[in-house]
Chain A
Amino acid sequence: MNLSTIPTVALVGNPNCGKTALFNALTGSRQKVANYAGVTVEKKEGLAELPDGRRLRIVDLPGTYSLRARSPDEAVTRDAVLGRLPGEPAPDVILCVADATNLGLVLRLALELKTTGRPVVFVLNMIDIAERQGIEIDVDALSRALGAPVKATVATRRRGLDTLLEIAAAQAEGASDLGPDLWREPSAADVRNGHRAARDLMRNTVRPPSRPDTLTGRLDGILLHPAAGLVILLGLLFLMFQAVFAWAAPLQDLTEAGFAALGAAATAGLPTGWMQGLVVDGLIAGVGSVLVFLPQILLLFVFILLLEDSGYMARAAFLMDRIMGGAGLHGRAFIPLLSSFACAVPGIMSTRVIDNRRDRLTTILTAPLMTCSARIPVYTLIIGALIPERTVGGVLSLQGLVMFGLYAAGILSALAVAFVIRKVLWRGGSEPFMMQLPDYKIPDPVNLLRNLGQKAWAFISRAGRIILPLMVLVWALSTWPSAPEGAEGPAIAYSAAGRIGHWLEPIFAPIGFSWEMVVALIPGMAAREVAVAALGAIYAVGGAEGDLAGVLSRQWPLASGLAFLAWYVFAPQCVATLAVVRRETGGWVWPGIMFAYMLALAYLAAFIVYRVAAAFGLS
């Protein structure tokens, strides 16, 4: 069957009504996730097959309360519904998905959708919860009053889905007699009238719950409590950190060992020469340096999905809004920033939960200042090499204090940068913080696994496509031209990277960087921690980190080492981060701004640290 003859069915509804769960259940694994052309909103489409072989193209759209769009996501929903997206067929059928326990707002949306003239099917999802609460809905009366077929479903249990597909297919076949498109941007009066009509509709067709949900109210009493709520939130954060840094460690060691074994096998199997170097040091080491973070990132995604699906995420944003707001950040920025402690790439990807563009950009710009785990190997190496193992005040380790100071410096500068962005870039205006607090639910494991798979794949393919070619490039730069016969010193000194390092040295001299340090920054572009391997290559000590620390402690003045650490608090050179920012913001403007400000801050911080340390005689 030709793709263009498969009818398109669009899923539209309020946030949290189960659209994505329905989309997953209808399409199974026959789905693909891409971006809408020109905008950075995720586009999810898939194929659903009826028992008789007919097929429907299903499109999951961002949640909305109205076709009057407030955010880029909602604009996509509007344009998709109205058939205004270039290269996208207008939907043949609109499935208006409703949370059956919460019909107030979606009925107005359904009435608005009807004015587009396209066939609408009203889906009463989460009917299981509605039944448990004793909500009675007169489906026939509702269908008559809406002038649209109504079907009750349970997306997570696949209940009612076959009939739903039948109805949708039948509607699509009759879609030749479209009504006129009467939709126009609703005014305040239109919205008021819509609510009035929806309320009448509801009064005549829905009996309120006989056993209303009391769990959400009771849980909120604790989880939103001004004191207990914050303590629980901090506890959850602690658990999340514990998971990301401690529980992931064995898996990471396994990944590392696996790639080391693979590299050894390739070294043995391939003849010595540039081919071997490309495969072992370029490709295998490159893929390994990305995948080693995968266990952390998967665990992080599991936490985020659990928090989202259970309904807690909105509560976290509620508790944090004022605290974050002091720095000009939105309450919802909290989770993306937290994720960035593992890696800024998934952090920036998860800023999609922030629907306002300015708030989202502020969060994206500050996310890379959170100390990501790729900086840890660099910090550990240099602290171990240069900071004496002493205790301060009898209990605190000096090395630990420096590490803590670096984390704190990252957080404080993120807050300061957000504050400045708010004051300079978006003067004055603060966006409304209005958000539904959904009922608590026990997350559905199958749905969670499927969403986890999608997110993990998005990370691997995005990071992989950027980092892998870059690793090969960096490898080539640090390999060619090769050292002449009988040359002194490490081979990398003669390579293109070495020359760039020498050439850039005067620029970095004021902040105390030697050419070796500058060279290490270049491969650090692929992933920040690769700087460690690069230093190993430069000082020709191979893989043994203990030796490298010894060499550094002899060769690096303390002031230069501290300046290097200060540089790494900002470390603007992570290309994966810049590339993901380009994807998420749809252009090079914002990655450009990000690189420029981080570069300036890195240089400034290193300069100050170097000069102050030198003044204290530490060089």
Chain B
Amino acid sequence: MSSDALRAAPESAVRLGDMQPGFCGVIVAVRRPLGAAPGATDPEELELRLLEFGFVEGARVEVLHEGPIGGDPIAVRVDDMRVALRRSEAMNVILAEASA
């Protein structure tokens, strides 16, 4: 379903991994990473982990903080929970911008 969701995503869709603190959005798709590096976490595994942490279509996401070096990792609020994750992982969460 993830690739369909990505195609169906609105023009304004952005990737969570690109966002700066202060950004608010709603998840429109959680996709499997494409062309994963050999040996990296298997793509389905990463999708499942994101889902289990509450990154699921329809959830509200706000970027709260970023790490001291290269702005990585990021701390985000997903619905009512604070989660830290790396930007590379957050690239698989597709958002539509929402007003804060």
Residues of A within 8 A of B (CB): 65-66, 68, 70, 101-105, 186, 188-189, 191-192, 195, 199, 208, 216-217, 220-221, 224-227, 229-230, 314, 317-319, 321-323, 331, 426-439
Query: Which of A192, A225, A433, A438 is close to B86, meaning CB atoms less than 8 Å apart?
Result: A433
Instruction: Provide the bound-state CA to CA distance between A386 and B8, in Å.
Output: 74
The CA of A611 and the CA of B91, in the complex, are separated in Å by 52
Q: How far is the CA of A37 from the CA of B37 in the complex (A)?
A: 35
Q: Which of B57, B68, B80, B86 touches A230 (beta carbons < 8 Å)?
A: B68
B13 interface residue, CB < 8 Å from A? Answer: no
> Is the CB–CB distance between B41 and A432 below 8 Å?
yes
Which residues of chain B from 1 to 49 have any CB-CB distance to chain A below 8 Å in the complex? 1-2, 37-41, 44-49
Q: Which of A102, A221, A225, A429 contacts B40 (CB 8 A)?
A: A429
Name the residue of chain B whose CB is nearest to the CB of A101.
Answer: B80
Contact (Cβ within 8 A) A188 B41: no
| Contact (Cβ within 8 A) B53 A191 | no
CB distance from B6 to the nearest CB of A (A): 14
Docked Cα-Cα span, A195 to B2, in Å, equals 16
Q: Is A428's CB under 8 angstroms from B39's CB?
A: yes
Expressed in whole angstroms, the minimum distance between the Cβ of B26 and any Cβ of chain A is 13
Closest B residue, CB atoms, query A226: B68
Interface residues of B (CB under 8 A from A): 1-2, 37-41, 44-54, 56-58, 64-70, 72-73, 75, 78-86, 89
Asked if B81 and A104 sit within 8 Å, CB to CB, the answer is yes
The distance in angstroms between the C-alpha atoms of A191 and B86, with both chains bound, is 22
Please name all residues of chain B whose beta carbon is closer than 8 Å to the beta carbon of A317 when the two chains form the complex. 84
Residues of B within 8 A of A224 (CB): 64-65, 75
CB–CB B72/A322 < 8 A: yes
Q: Which residues of B contact A186 (CB under 8 A)?
A: 48
> Which B residues lie within 8 Å of A188 (CB)?
1-2, 44, 47-48, 51
Q: Is there an interface contact between B54 and A68, defined as CB atoms closer than 8 Å?
A: no
CA gap between A437 and B65 in the complex, in Å: 12
Are B49 and A318 in touch, CB under 8 angstroms?
no
CB closest residue in chain A, given B47: A188
Inter-chain contacts of B89 with A (CB < 8 A) = 432-434
Residues of A within 8 A of B73 (CB): 318, 321-322, 331, 433
Within 8 Å CB of A65, what residues of B? 52-53
Residue of A104, A314, A430, A432 near B80 (CB, 8 A) is: A104
CA–CA, A438 to B46, complex, Å? 22
Which residues of chain A come closer than 8 Å to B52, judged between CB atoms? 65-66, 68, 105, 191
Q: A427-B39, A434-B85 are in contact. Are A68 and B48 (CB under 8 A)?
A: yes
Given A188-B48, A220-B75, A226-B68 in contact, is the A437-B84 Cβ separation under 8 Å? yes
**B68–A432 CB distance below 8 A:** no
Closest beta carbon of chain A to B13's beta carbon, Å: 18
Measured CA separation A220–B68 after assembly (Å): 13
Min CB–CB distance B18 → chain A (angstroms): 17
Note all chain A residues with C-beta closer than 8 A to B53: 65, 105, 434, 436
Instruction: Select which of A195, A428, A434 is within 8 A of B56 by beta carbon.
Output: A195
The 8 closest A-B pairs by CB, nearest first: A428-B39, A429-B39, A437-B82, A226-B68, A322-B69, A191-B51, A224-B65, A65-B52
Q: Could you show 10 A-B contacts with beta carbons less than 8 Å apart?
A: A68-B48, A105-B54, A191-B52, A191-B56, A224-B75, A318-B75, A318-B84, A322-B70, A427-B39, A432-B85
Cα–Cα, bound, A442→B50 (Å)? 29
- Asked if B80 contacts A323 (CB within 8 A), the reply is no
Tell which of A192, A428, A436 touches B38, judged by Cβ atoms closer than 8 Å.
Answer: A428
Report Cα–Cα, A323/B67, bound state, in Å: 10
Q: Is the CB of B80 within 8 A of A426?
A: no
A192 in contact with B82 (CB, 8 Å): no
Compute how far the CA of A323 lies from the CA of B83 in the bound complex, rounded to whole angstroms.
Answer: 19
Chain B residues with Cβ under 8 A from A221's Cβ? 65
Complex Cα distance A434/B37, Å?
A: 19
In the complex, the answer to whether B40 meets A428 with C-beta atoms within 8 Å is yes
CB distance from A433 to the nearest CB of B (A): 5
- Extra contacts besides A188-B51, A429-B37, A433-B86 (14): CB < 8 Å: A66-B52, A104-B81, A191-B52, A192-B57, A224-B65, A224-B75, A225-B65, A230-B68, A321-B72, A321-B84, A426-B39, A431-B41, A434-B89, A435-B84
Q: Are B51 and A318 in contact (CB under 8 A)?
A: no
Cα distance, A348 to B51, chains bound together (Å): 31
- Chain A residues with CB under 8 Å of B83's CB are 434-437
- Residues of chain B lying within 8 A (CB to CB) of residue A103: 80
**Once bound together, how far apart are the Cα atoms of A226 and B64, in whole Å?**
12
Contact B67 A319 (CB under 8 A): yes
- Note all chain A residues with C-beta closer than 8 A to B37: 428-429
Q: Do the beta carbons of A323 and B69 come within 8 Å of each other?
A: yes
Q: In the complex, A315→B57 CA distance in Å? A: 27
Interfacial chain B residues near A438, Cβ < 8 Å: 82
List, in ascending order, chain A residues with CB within 8 A of B68's CB: 226-227, 229-230, 319, 322-323
Complex Cα spacing A438 to B68, Å: 20
Q: Check B66–A226 contact: CB distance below 8 A.
A: yes
Complex Cα spacing A349 to B48, Å = 29
Q: Max chain A CB contacts within 10 Å: which of B37, B39, B48?
A: B48
Residue numbers in B under 8 Å from A227 (CB-CB): 68
B45 partner residues in chain A, CB cutoff 8 A:
70
B53 to chain A, nearest CB (A): 6
- Name the residue on A nearest B78 (C-beta): A104
With the chains together, A101 CA to B67 CA distance in Å? 26
A192-B57, A318-B75 are known contacts. Are A434 and B49 too (CB-CB below 8 A)? yes
Compute how far the CA of A426 lies from the CA of B48 in the bound complex, rounded to whole angstroms. 22
Bound form: Cα–Cα A104–B81 in Å:
8
Q: How far is the CA of A436 from the CA of B69 in the complex (A)?
A: 20
* B84 in complex: contacting residue of A191, A314, A426, A430, CB < 8 Å: A314
Give, as a whole number of angstroms, the nearest-CB distance from A115 to chain B.
16
Q: Are A432 and B49 in contact (CB under 8 A)?
A: yes
Report the minimum CB–CB distance from A439 to chain B (whole Å): 8
C-alpha gap A105/B53 in the complex (Å) = 7
The CA-CA distance from A439 to B70 in the complex, in Å, is: 25
- Given A192-B51, A437-B75, verify A105-B44 contact (CB < 8 Å): no
| In the complex, chain B residues whose CB is within 8 Å of the CB of A433 | 73, 84-86, 89
Q: Which residues of B contact A220 (CB under 8 A)?
A: 64-65, 75, 82
A322 nearest CB neighbor, chain B only: B69
**Residues in A whose Cβ lies below 8 Å from that of B85:** 432-435
